[in-house]
Amino acid sequence: MLFNGIFLLIASVIAGTLSSVVGMASVILYPALLFVGLPPIMANVTITVGIIFSGTSAVLSSKRELKGQGSVTLHVMAFAVIGAIIGSIILLHSSNKSFQDVAPFVILLSGVLMLIPKKQSAYVHEGVSKTASAIAAIAIVVVGIYVGYFGAGGGVLMAAILIRIIDAPYAICNAVRNVSTLTMNAVSALIFIFTTPISWSALVVLAVGLFIGGYIGPIIVRVIPSAIMKYSVAIGAIILAAFLAYQAYF
C-alpha cells in the first residue's frame, strides 16, 4: 500500500508536468493505475478527475501568457466542452475490453503525431476566413470528444490546432491549451462523478502530485525547448503503445 502510494505520487508529479507542457498525463498515469490494480475505465475516469488539479495549477502558473488571449480562449473552451460532453457519454457506454483494445492505438497515434514537425501557423485568429474558422471549430470539437473518451495525447492534438489559429509563441498556445484542457476535464469529471466508479483513494494521491507538476510545467516551457521534451515523450509513448498492445492482444 505504501509502495503504491509513493509510486503514484512520483508518477503524478511527472504526469502533471507533462500535462501542462505537452498534454500527455494519461501516457504516464494510465499504465501506472493499471499497475496498481485499477480496471481500464476506472483508471481513465480517475485520471480525468485528477487532471483538474494539474490544470488548475497550470492555469495559475500561466497568467503571464494568458494576458490578451481572452477572446480566443473563450472560443476554444466553448467548442472543446461540446466535444468533451459527447466523448464522456461515449465512454460511459464502452466496455473495459473495448477500451483496453483501442488504447494502444490512440497512444501510438499521439506519439507519431508528436514526431511530425510542426509547420508555421497558416493563419492568425483575427484574420481567418469563415471556412477556416469552421474547420478549426470542428477540429476542436473532435479533440474534445477524444479527450472526453480517453485523453492520452489529446493535448498534443489541441496544440497542433492552436498553433494554426493563434499567431504566437508555443508558450502562449500552450497556456490556452491548458485552459481548454482544464475546462474539458472539469465537464467530463462532473459527468463521471455521478455516473461511474472512481478510485478516490488513488485520486487523493494523484491530486497532490498533479497539482505540483501542473504548476511546474509552464515554468519549464519558458526556459527549456519544448521539442526536447516532446520528442522524448513521443518515443516513450510509442514504446508504451507497443507494451499495452502486447497486453491486450497476446
Pairwise CA distance, residues 88 & 37, whole Å: 23
Pairwise CA distance, residues 181 & 167, whole Å: 20
Does residue 155 contact residue 181 with C-beta atoms inside 8 Å?
Answer: yes
pLDDT at 109: 73
pLDDT at 123: 41
pLDDT at 125: 45
Q: Where are the alpha helices (DSSP H) in the chain?
A: 2-21, 25-35, 40-61, 63-66, 70-92, 96-115, 130-149, 154-165, 170-193, 200-223, 226-249
pLDDT at 230: 65
pLDDT at 118: 55
pLDDT at 87: 87
Place of cell 508536468: 17
Instruction: Give residue 126's identity as a one-letter amino acid code.
Output: E
pLDDT at 124: 44
pLDDT at 24: 74
| Assigned C-alpha cell, 7 | 509510486
Intervals of the chain under pLDDT 70: 95-100, 103, 106-107, 110, 113-114, 116-130, 132, 151-153, 226-227, 229-230, 233
pLDDT at 46: 93
pLDDT at 153: 62
Q: What angle do CA 10, 11, 16 make, to 5 degrees?
A: 100
Does residue 92 contact residue 195 with C-beta atoms inside 8 Å?
Answer: yes
pLDDT at 33: 94
